[in-house]
Every structure is written in C-alpha cells, then in structure tokens.
Amino acid sequence: MSGTHRRSMLGRARLMAKVLAVLLSLTVVAALALLARFERGETLGHAQGRAELIARTLEDHVTRTVESASLILRTLGEGIAQQGTLEPARLQPLLGQPLLSSLPFLRSAAVIDERGVVLASSIRGEPGLRIDMDGWGPLPAEGQEALLPLRPGRSLFDLATSGAPRAAGVGVLPLVRWVRGAAGQRVLLVALINPGALANFQQVAVSGDGGVALLASWQGRLVAANEPVALEPGQQISGHPVFDSWLPQREHGVYIGRGLLEGRQVVAFRASRTRPLVVLVELAQQAVLRPWHERVNLLGAVGLLALLAILGGLAVLLREMDAREHARAALDGAHEQVALRERELSVLLKSVQELIFRTDATGAITFVNARWVAISHEGPDHAIGQRLRDLVALPDRQRTDDLFTRDDRVGVRQEQLCLRAADGRLRHFLVAVVPLHGEGRIVGFAGSAVDVSERVLADQQLQRQLAFSALLLEMSPLPVSMFDTAGRYVLVNQAWEDFVGRPRASVIGTQVGAFLSAQDAELHAEQDARLLAHGGKARYETQVLHRDGSRRDMVLTKVVVPGDGGEPAGILCTLMDVSEFRDAERATREARDAAERASREKSAFVANISHELRTPLQAILGFSELGCVRGRDNARLAGMFNDIHHSGQRMLALVNDLLDVSKIESAVGTFELERCDLREIVQAVLREVDPLLAQRGLRVALTLADEPLIARLDPTRIHQAIRNVIANAIKFSPQDGALQVACLASESDTLTLTVADRGPGIPPGELESIFEAFVQSSRTQDGSGGTGLGLAICRKILDIHGGQIWADNRVGGGAVFTLVLPQRPSGDSQLHTGY
C-alpha cells in the first residue's frame, strides 16, 4: 500500500473517527437532556402528589376539629335542655367541665341569651358581658348551627369591646347554635375555635417540604397560615386561581402555576366536606426542583466526563465508568428517599376519608386505610389477603377481574361496583385502579373507592321520573309537540300522530312548516318568534288541517322550554280541538239572529195593526159620545150608546197597551235616562189616581224615605210601570179598603217600592205567569180584569232598567208587588237591551 493510499485511508479513518465522535457526543447530549426532562417531570409529579396528600390530610383535620367543636355544642345543648331554668349559676358548671379545657383548639365556650348578654362562659369574667351580634353575619335557625366568619380577638371580651387593643393576626372562628331550655327560653351556644391551633398542625404537615399551608373561607378570606404571609387573617385573597377559576365547580384539585406566594407554585387545594372552608398547600416550584437541579448538575458532570472519555480514549472511558457508578449510587440514594417519603405518605393515607387500597398482581389486598372500618366495622388487618372480587356483589365480579388485568397498556381503570356494608345493605362505589410497575412488569395495583350510593339512587329516581313523564305525554289526549329554536321537530306524542296522520319517524328533524300552507306557516312562525323574544306563554286560535282533510278549529298553547344555560331550548306546543264548540256558537248565533228578526217583524206587525185599529176606534168613540148626548131623552137608546162607548174605551186601552209593548220591544232607544227622585214619581202617580181612590173609598198608607231616592231612569216609563201596579191594586181592592205603599233604599245600592192590597190574592202557581203578555190571574177573570198586558209591560220596563218586579201573597189575604231599581252612578246610561 503506497503512502498516498495510507494517508488517504488515515484521513478517511480520522474523518470517520471525528464523525463517530461527533455522533456519539450528540447521542450522549440528547440522552442526558431526555433523562433530565424525565427526571423533572417525575419530581414535579411527586411534588403534586405530596401537596395533594397534605391538602387532604389538613382538610380532614380541619373538618374533624370543627365537628369536635360541634359535638361539644350539641352536648352543651343537651345539658341546657335538661336544666329547669337558665340561671347563670346553673349554667356555669356545664362550661367548667374538663372536656373544654382539654381541647387546645377551643379558646372558649359560652351561653348567650337573645339580648346578647353572656349567661355563662368557660373564661372567668365574661359572664354579664353584652355582645353586639349584628355584625357576626346571619345566625342559624333554631336547632341548627353555623360556622361564622373569622372575628378579630381572642375571647368574647374582645368581641364585646370594640375599642380594646388586639394583637395583630389574632382571631377566632365562632361556631354558634341556637337551643331552647326546658322552660322555653332560647339561648345561643358559642364555641370560639382557635385558628392558631389549625396553623400549628399545618406547620407540622408541611415542615419537611418548606411550603406554606393556608386555611380560607369559600369566599377567599384568609383564616390561618402556617407562617407569615403578605395578608392578615380575615383579609381577601385576591387574584388566586383557586377562588377565581376552580371553586365552586371543583372542590379539590392540584396544579402548577400562580399561587399566593411569588413565583410558580405547586398548588393543591381541598374544600371541607361539611364546612365552608378551603385548605390550600403551596410548594415553591424552585424548592421542589432543587434536588432535580442537583441531579442535573451531576448528570452534566457525567456527560462532560463521557465526552472527555470519548475524546481521551480508554483511560477516560474508565473514569467515565466510575462516574456512572457514582451516579448510580446517587440515584439509589434518591430512590431510598422516595421510599422514605412513601412510608410517610402511607401514614397520612390512614386519615383520608376515602377508601384507599393496594393489592398485589393477583388483586389480593396488601394495604387498606382506616376508611375500611367505616364500611365493614372491622379493622384494616381483616382485609389483608382478601381479594377484592370476593368482597363485591356476585354480578360485579367479572368487571372486578377486568380492573386487575395484567395488560400494562391500560392505564387508569375505573368501574362502579357494589359492596355489601356491615349493615347488610349494598353500597355503590366508584373504584379506580392504577397498575404499579417494577422490573418491567406489573407488580401490583393502587386504587381508591368513593361511595356514590346517593348519586346512584338519585340517578335511578331521575330515570323513573323521566319514564313517568314520557308515559304521561303518550297518554295525553291532547296532541303535543316540541321543536327547537331552529323550528325542527324534536318530540311528538301519539295523539299528535293520530291527529296529523304522520308517523313520528318521518316528522322528527323536519321543519315545522314543511307540510303547512304558506299562510299557516307564516302565522305560526310569527307567534314562535314573538314567544322566543319575550318568553311567557302564547295562546291563540286557528284552523289546522286534520288527517281526514277537514280543517278543525284548534286552540294552540305554546310555552318556551328553557335550556341548561337559561337560554330557550325550544317551544312546547299543545293543541285543543274546539270545533264542536265553535259549531255550537255559530248555530246559537244564527238561532238568536232568527229570533230577533222574528221579534222585530212581530213588533212591527203589532204596531201596524194597532195604528190601523185606532182610526176606526176614534170614529166609533166619537159617534158613540154623540149618540149619548142626543139620546138623553131615550133611556134605552142612551144605554146602547153607553155600552158602545165603554166597549170602545176598552178596545182603545188594549190597542194602546199593544203599542206600548211594541215600542218597548222594538225601540229601546226611546228610553231617556236622567237623574230623578223616585219619591216624586210615586207621589205624582198617587195624585193621578186620586179620583180612582176616592171612587172606591180607598185609603193609602204611604211610607217614603227621609233622604232623596236618586237613580238614573226614564221617568215616563217608570211612572207608567208604577201606575199600572197601583191601578191593579185599586182595581182588585175591596170597597173602603186600604193600600200600603212604601218607597225605601236598601243596603245593596238599590231602591225598593212595595204596593200591598187586601184583594183576592194570586194563586201560588200563577205568581210568575201573571207577568206574561195576555195572561191574567184566574181569580180576576170575572170581567173586572184588563187586557193582561199591564204587568207584562211593567216587567219589560223594569228589566230594561236592570231592575226586577215580582208578586207575593200577604198573610191574611191580598197581594204585595215589589219593584227594585238599581242606583246607577252618574254617567251610566247602559240599558239591558236583550229583548
């Protein structure tokens, strides 16, 4: 091989060595970068789990602390209820029990009456103080309790004395409860919870993580913190994502981002199960990543050594191997730290209220927290070794096996299973299981179980209610449909199908006006648009095409159906067939019109005949009067002319009555209403009939009201009606008898006129028929009666005025006629024209 060739081979080898060195260096750098990224994610994930676990532990501690204070209040309430009186001397021993002094989280407990006076207290010197509770916030109802907002101070003395000096950052959480003593007095029990005790526990919980733990109200007001922060207790935490974005949609969660402290934080929060409190745990991302930075620096050194090894040869390679060994030892130490933290977490898990467990690869339980006691009433050791599939109900065992499948491609597995509790009832649990990997295979499973029995029961009740509503819709005889805001059908019932003649399968999803005429579609679209714009309910009547081709009169009722966000989701429409009612109305209207035409024609005929009869009657009466004058010397001839004259007068009276009837029925407009005193009309009628009274020797006992009896009426027509009634009484009264006439005002805003006589009376079966035209009482059909039109005319006049007339028999003989007229207000000219 020539030198040139060797140099070329050497150059190529050197070039290849350079290329390989560069590729190997890039590979090392890329591997180290990926490893650093992976380690960072693992570190942050571990910090999130740690923060979430601490938040769950602190929330449980806060809840149990408040519940312990609540138990003390209930115990004090039971003791007070057994006291015969609420004297302070009898209440004070209840608050001096050792139980109160042994609870460090309680500053004091007291009994306060409804005036705000402290009756008894666990702190000497507080009884007798007056507390202004107006600023405490809304107090609970009797028999209930409430946790009030944080108040500054240490005791009731601080709360009662507004100007007393207080230490900065010192406050109490009042827990109050109304109870009633045996004598019926109501008092308020107050327990002042020390937020500092909660902060001390928070300090212990986060002492190894260098973070901060906060306790706040649901509204974001700081209650306590494990170390000083920028806010004082009671101040509002502004701009925190937990209160701005997370609550109240989610009651617990964990995220990395903005918190109360400066810089990015690992934040975990959890709301109390029973109280309006929220626990926040914040771990500084920079502090969390500090171990990772150390490992990254270490990996950087390892990478540098690796590059030096590549460039330096075998010696450097050996040194790089030593460095890797050193890195391996450091990694093992880190794993030991992780194992230590896991043991600490297992201790914390025992206080979590959810059921948390761990199994081996076959599904046998190897660990379970203390929540197991609440489910089985047995210790956690009893569950060790049992398989979860043996504890669930028989139908759920196959799905339980699916949770523990060894397919490592499936991550989180969830199933809803039924477990039988210690009381024998089946409880529903939402079980989540995550496989645990080790040495490249699944070595076990970790899981949690949440009791969702109440939610399952609510879902079942909801489904039954929906099924019942659907059944009611199908059974409804009214056609019902629903369509969305775009005008597409989404629901119809069986009655709608039967009416329209279209199956719902061909209707759902189509436009509302698809099978309507353009005019009908425009009418419905206008109503729907107005309803969607203004809400409420729309009701209108139109004609709808029936499946048999006829158009039916229908009343449509539409209401807006609200959606999830409060916006309209559609319109619900019901149809009611009123065709038969409208046909009946049309038939009634046509019959009434025909009757009115016949009545007008009859009235016109009677008026024409009456006018035609009056002409010859005037001639007969004139010649009969002339015959009477000229036949005075011939008694027989004079008697004949007198008979002719009297018969003509009776005939003329009959014709005049017929004319009055026809005028009343056909010319209501001739009634002219004016304000009149009814007493004057009655007196005028009596003066007019005075000759008739004198002729029969009758006396009139007149009773009139002292005050004017003012009413709006037609004086001529009312005068005619009253004269007819009084004239009838005179006609049928015995010779030298008496009439009783009374005109008074009643309490029902009406005027009443009564005319009583001692005549033959009226048979009971004819008390109503005598007011019909041409009908007379059977007791007066002896020739002394008239035409039978007088009382009929009276009733028509009274009816047109809105009044009434009726007759009754008097005790001892005779009849009494009663006329009632309404007292119309000024300006009321409405007549009853139903004739």
Domain end residue (candidates: 287, 306, 338): 287
CATH number of the domain residue 598 falls in:
1.10.287
Facing residues of 804 across strands?
A: 820
Look at residue 428 and tell me if it is in a domain: yes
Residue 717: which of 772, 755, 768, 678 has the closest Cα?
Answer: 678
pLDDT at 739: 92
Do residue 368 and residue 451 come from a single domain?
yes
Say whether pLDDT at 10 is over 60: no
Q: For 84-120, what is each residue's pLDDT tens digit?
A: 777 887 888 877 655 566 677 888 889 988 888 888 8
* Confidence band of 316 (pLDDT split at 50, 70, 90): very low
Of residues 740, 784, 744, the one with CA closest to residue 760: 784
Structural domain boundaries enclosing 621? 583-662
Read off the amino acid at residue 282: E
| CATH assignment of the domain containing 481 | 3.30.450.20
Average the pLDDT over each of 128-132, 355-359, 422-426, 614-618 and give the range with the smallest value.
614-618
Using pLDDT thresholds of 50, 70 and 90, give the confidence band for residue 669. Answer: very low
Same domain, residue pair 273 and 157: yes
Residue 368 CA, distance from chain mean position: 44
Task: Decide which of 465 and 821 is more confident.
Answer: 821
Among the ranges 222-226, 253-257, 296-300, which has the highest mean pLDDT value?
Answer: 253-257
Helices (H), 82-212: 88-95, 98-101, 156-160, 195-206
* Mean pLDDT of the 482-487 span: 81
Judgement on whether residues 533 and 629 belong to the same structural domain of the protein = no
Q: Is residue 87 one of the residues assigned to a domain?
A: yes
More confident residue, 515 or 541: 541
Tell me the mean pLDDT in the region 349-366: 74
Lowest mean pLDDT among 350-359, 653-662, 781-790: 781-790
Position 668 pLDDT exceeds 50: no
pLDDT of 367 over the 70 cut: yes
pLDDT at residue 662, as a whole number: 57
Give tens-digit pLDDT for 286-307. Answer: 888 888 888 888 888 887 887 7
Is 2 part of a structural domain of the chain? no
Residues 115 and 194 both lie in one domain: yes
- Write out the E strands in 529-607: 537-545, 551-562, 568-577
Task: Give the per-residue pLDDT at 699.
Answer: 92
Q: Which pLDDT band, with edges at 50, 70 and 90, does 76 fall under?
A: confident
- Are 97 and 201 part of one and the same domain? yes
Residues 175 and 277 both lie in one domain: yes
Asked whether the beta carbons of 291 and 299 are under 8 A apart, the reply is: no
Which pLDDT does position 269 carry in this prediction? Answer: 92
Q: How confident is the model at residue 471 (pLDDT cuts 50, 70, 90)?
A: confident
Is residue 221 situated within a structural domain? yes
Check residue 740 and give its pLDDT. 92
What average pLDDT does the structure give for the chain?
A: 78
Model pTM above 0.95: no
More confident residue, 248 or 664: 248
Burial class (CB in 10 A: 0-12, 13-18, 19+), 281: buried
To which residue do tokens 């209820």 refer?
A: 81
Mention every residue, 6+ apart, whose C-beta is less than 8 A from residue 338.
Answer: 46
Q: How confident is the model at residue 489 (pLDDT cuts 50, 70, 90)?
A: confident
CA–CA distance, 176 with 188 (Å, rounded to integer): 7
Please indicate, yes or no, whether residues 70 and 154 belong to a single structural domain of this protein. Answer: yes
Shared domain check, 390 and 436: yes
Q: What is the mean pLDDT of residues 110-135?
A: 85
Reported as a single tens digit per residue, the pLDDT across 748-798 is: 788 999 999 998 888 888 888 888 766 666 665 544 445 567 788 888 888
pLDDT at residue 278, rounded to an integer: 93
Domain co-membership, 134 together with 281:
yes
> Among the listed ranges 140-149, 242-251, 581-590, which one has the minimum average pLDDT value?
581-590
Residue 302, both tokens: 């390892």
Place of tokens 């004082």: 232
Taking 70 as the threshold, does the pLDDT of residue 657 lie above it? Answer: no
Secondary structure element (H or E) that encloses residue 820, with its range: strand 815-822
Domain assignment of residue 467, yes or no: no
Partnered with residue 413 across adjacent β-strands are: 433
Question: In the predicted model, what is the mean pLDDT of residues 690-704?
Answer: 89
Residue 527 confidence (pLDDT) above 50: yes
Q: What is the DSSP letter of 511?
A: B
More confident residue, 488 or 421: 488
pLDDT tens-place string over residues 192-215? 998 888 888 888 888 776 788 888
Higher model confidence: residue 176 or residue 592?
176
pLDDT of 752 reads 92
Q: Could you tell me the pLDDT band of residue 400, with boundaries at 50, 70 and 90?
A: confident
Query: Is 311 a member of any domain?
Result: no
What confidence tier does 667 reach under pLDDT thresholds 50, 70, 90? very low
Reported confidence tier of residue 742, pLDDT bands at 50, 70, 90: very high
| Residue 592 and residue 539 in one domain | no
Q: What is the CATH number for 699?
A: 3.30.565.10
Query: What secondary structure letter does DSSP report for 116?
Result: S
- Show Cβ contacts of residue 125 under 8 Å, excluding neighbours closer than 6 positions: 157
Residue where a domain terminates, one of 574, 605, 632: 574
Which residues contact residue 470 at a Cβ distance below 8 angstroms, ignoring those fewer than 6 apart?
A: none
Given this model, what pLDDT does residue 826 score? 46
At residue 835 the predicted structure's pLDDT band, cuts being 50, 70 and 90, is very low
Angle CA 662–721–670, to nearest 5: 45
Domain boundary among 612, 642, 662: 662
Assess if residue 42 is contained within a domain: no
Q: What residues pair up with 283 in beta bridges, in sequence order?
A: 266
- Count structural domains, the chain: 5
- Quick one: 588 and 718 in the same domain? no
Q: Average pLDDT, stretch 819-823?
A: 89
Q: What is the arithmetic mean of pLDDT over 229-254?
A: 85
Sign of CA dihedral 233, 239, 242, 245: positive
Most confident among 350-364, 386-400, 677-691, 819-833 (mean pLDDT): 677-691
Q: Which of 725, 728, 710, 740 is nearest to 805 (CA)?
A: 725
What is the pLDDT, as a whole number, of residue 321? 45
Q: What share of the chain is helix, strand, coil (3-state, %, to 5)?
A: 50, 25, 30
> In the predicted model, is pLDDT for residue 603 greater than 70?
no
**pLDDT value at residue 783:** 46
Q: Are residues 556 and 633 in the same domain?
A: no
Confirm whether 333 is domain-assigned. no
Say which residue, 513 or 181, is predicted with more confidence.
181
